[in-house]
Structure 1
Amino acid sequence: MTEASLDTGIDIIKTHVKTAPTAPGVYRMLSKHGDVLYVGKAKSIKKRIVSYTQPKRLPNRLLRMVAATASMVFVTTRTEAEALLLEASLIKRFRPTYNVLLKDDKSFPYILLREDHEWAQITKHRGARRHKGQYYGPFASVSAVNRTLNTLQKIFQLRSCSDSTLETRTRACLLYQIKRCSGPCVNHISKSDYTDMVAETRAFLEGRTSGIQKKLAESMQQASDELEFEVAAVFRDRLNALTHIQSHQTMVNAMVDEADVIAAAEVGGQVGVQVFFFRAGQNWGHRAYFPKHDKEDSLEDVLGAFISQFYDNKPAPKLVLLSHSIPEQNLLGDALSERMGRRVIISVPERGKKADVVKEAARNAKEAIERRLAESASQTKLLEGVAKAFHLAEPPKRIEVYDNSHIQGTNAVGGMIVAGPEGFMKNAYRKFNIKSEDLTPGDDFGMMKEVLERRFKRLLKEDADRERGHWPDLLLIDGGKGQLSSVMEIMRDLGVTDVKVVGISKGPDRHAGREQFHMNGHESFMLPLTDPVLYYLQRLRDEAHRFAIGTHRSKRSSDIKKSPLDGVSGIGPKRKKALLHHFGSAKAVADADVRDLEGVDGISRAMAQHIYDHFRG
Structure 2
Amino acid sequence: MPSEVAEPPLKGAALIKDEVTRLPDRPGVYRMMGEDGEVLYVGKARSLKKRVIQYAQGRFHTNRIAHMVDATRSMEFVTTRTETDALLLEINLIKQLKPRFNVLLRDDKSFPEIVIRREHPAAQLRKHRGAHTIKGDYFGPFASANAVNKTLNTLQKAFLLRSCSDSVYESRTRPCMLHQIKRCAAPCTGLVSLEDYAGLVEQAEAFLRGKSRAVVAGLAEQMTAAAEEMEFERAARLRDRIRALASVAQEQQINPETVDEADVFALFAEGGQACVQVFFFRAGQNWGNRAYFPRVDKSDEDADIMGAFLGQFYDDKPIPKLILANVEPAERDLLADAFCLKGGRKVEIAKPLRGEKRQLVDHALTNAREALGRKMSESSAQAKLLTGVCEAFGLEGPPERIEVYDNSHIMGTNAVGGMIVAGPEGFQKSQYRKFNIRGADITPGDDFGMMKEVLRRRFGRLVKEEEEGADAIRPDLVLIDGGMGQVGVVMEIMADLGVDDIPVVGVAKGPDRDAGLERFYIPGKPYFMLEPKSPVLYYLQRLRDEAHRFAIGTHRTRRAIDLKRNPLDEIEGVGPGRKRALLQAFGSARGVSRAGVEDLAKVEGVSQALAERIYGFFRKG
Q: Could you state the TM-score of these two structures normalised by the residue count of structure 2?
A: 0.88
What is the Cα deviation at residue 293 of structure 1?
1.2
Kindly state the Cα deviation for residue 319 of structure 1 after the two structures are TM-superposed: 0.4
**1:357 and 1:344, CA in 2 relative to 1: closer, same or farther beyond 3 A?**
same
For 1:472, give the aligned amino acid. Answer: P
CA drift of 1:279 comes to: 0.5
- Aligned pairs (5 A) from 1:175-190: 175-190=178-193
CA contact (8 A) 2:311 2:335 kept: yes
Task: State the partner residue of 1:247.
Answer: 250
Structure 2: how far apart are the matches of 1:308 and 1:66? Answer: 24
Match among 74, 78, 85 for residue 77 of structure 2: 74
Aligned to 1:64: 67
Q: Distance in 1 between matches of 2:27 and 2:292?
A: 30
- The answer to whether the 8 Å contact 1:274/1:286 transfers is yes
The alignment-based identity, stated in percent, is: 57
AA aligned to 2:492 is E
Match of 2:101 in 1: 98
Tell me: CA distance 1:282–1:19, structure 2 relative to 1, closer, same or farther (3 Å).
same
Q: CA deviation at 1:582?
A: 10
Which residue of the other structure, out of 8, 15, 20, is the alignment partner of 1:17?
A: 20
Within 1, Cα distance between the matches of 2:470 and 2:564?
A: 44
- Distance in 2 of aligned mates of 1:598 and 1:141: 55
Tell me, in whole angstroms, the C-alpha distance in 2 between the residues paired with 1:366 and 1:610.
Answer: 74
Q: What residue identity is the alignment partner of 2:111?
A: F
**Which of structures 1 and 2 has the larger relative contact order (alpha carbons within 8 angstroms, sep 6+)?**
1
Q: Out of 124, 128, 131, which is 1:125 matched to?
A: 128
1:343 matched to 2:342: no
Q: For residue 182 of structure 1, give the secondary structure of its aligned residue in structure 2.
A: coil
**Which string of whole-angstrom CA distances, capped at 9 and with x for unpartnered residues, describes residues 486-505 of structure 1?**
11111112111221111111
The C-alpha deviation readout for 1:6-62, integer Å capped at 9, x for no partner, is: 973233333433433432121222232222221111112232222222233252212
For residues 190 and 565 of structure 1, what CA distance do their matches in structure 2 show?
41
User: Is the deviation greater in 120-129 or in 452-461?
Assistant: 452-461
Structure-2 change in CA distance of 1:223 and 1:412 (3 Å): farther
1:32 matched to which residue of 2? 35
Q: 3-state DSSP class of the match of 2:500?
A: coil
CA offset digits 1:133-181 (Å, max 9, x no partner): 1111111111111111111122222222223333445554332332323
Distance in 1 between residues matched to 2:257 and 2:589, nearest whole Å: 53
Instruction: Mark the CA change 1:532 to 1:159 in structure 2 (over 3 Å): closer, same or farther.
Output: same
Distance in structure 2 (CA, Å) of the matches to 1:275 and 1:147 = 19
Query: 1:114 and 2:117 equivalent?
Result: yes
Tell me by how many angstroms 1:254 deviates. 2.4
| 8 A Cα contact 1:396 1:474, kept in partner | yes
Return closer, same or farther for 1:95/1:189 CA change in 2, 3 Å cut-off.
Answer: same
Give me the whole-angstrom Cα distance separating, in 2, the residues matched to 1:476 and 1:135.
Answer: 45
In structure 2, the partner of 1:325 is 328
Could you say which residue in structure 1 is the equivalent of 2:46?
43
SS at the partner of 1:549? helix
**Which secondary structure state, in structure 1, belongs to the residue aligned with residue 108 of structure 2?**
coil
Task: Output aligned runs, 1:50-449, within 5 Å.
Answer: 50-57=53-60, 59-169=62-172, 171-220=174-223, 231-249=234-252, 252-449=255-452
Structure 1 residue 459 corresponds to structure 2 residue 468: no
CA distance in 2, matches of 1:134, 1:369: 36
- What are the ranges of 5 or more consecutive residues in structure 2 without an aligned counterpart? 1-7
> In structure 2, what is the Cα distance between the partners aligned to 1:297 and 1:20?
27
What is the deviation of 1:295? 1.4
8 Å CA contact retained: 2:409, 2:416: yes
Residues 212-235 of structure 1: CA deviation (Å, up to 9, x unaligned): 323434444555666665555443
Larger mean Cα displacement after TM superposition, 137-146 or 111-120: 111-120
Per-residue deviation, 1:485: 1.0
Residues 1:359 and 1:105: Cα distance change in structure 2 (over 3 Å): same
Query: SS of the counterpart of 2:403?
Result: strand
- Offset of residue 437 of structure 1: 4.0
Q: Which runs of 5+ in 1 are unaligned?
A: none
- The C-alpha deviation readout for 1:387-427, integer Å capped at 9, x for no partner, is 00010111111111122223333333322221111222222
Q: 1:113 to 1:612 in 2, by over 3 A?
A: farther
CA contact (8 A) 2:255 2:286 kept: no
With over 3 angstroms needed to count, the CA separation of the structure-2 counterparts of 1:561 and 1:130, relative to structure 1, is farther
Change (3 A) 1:373 1:65: same
Instruction: Note if contact 1:271-1:299 (Cα within 8 Å) is conserved in structure 2.
Output: no
8 Å CA contact 2:486, 2:506 repeated in 1? yes
Shift in Å, 1:429:
2.1
Q: Choose 1 or 2 for highest CA Rg.
A: 2
2:346 corresponds to which letter in structure 1?
R
Whole-Å separation in 1 of the counterparts to 2:555 and 2:390:
32
CA shift digits 1:299-351 (9 cap, x unpaired) = 22212111111111111110000101121011001001100000111010000
How much is the aligned-residue C-alpha RMSD, in angstroms?
Answer: 3.4
Q: Is the Cα–Cα contact under 8 Å of residues 52 and 58 in structure 1 kept in the other structure?
A: no
Instruction: Specify which of 528, 531, 535 is matched with residue 532 of structure 1.
Output: 535
**Structure 1 residues 476-491: aligned runs within 5 Å:** 476-491=479-494
Distance 1:34 1:188, change over 3 A: farther
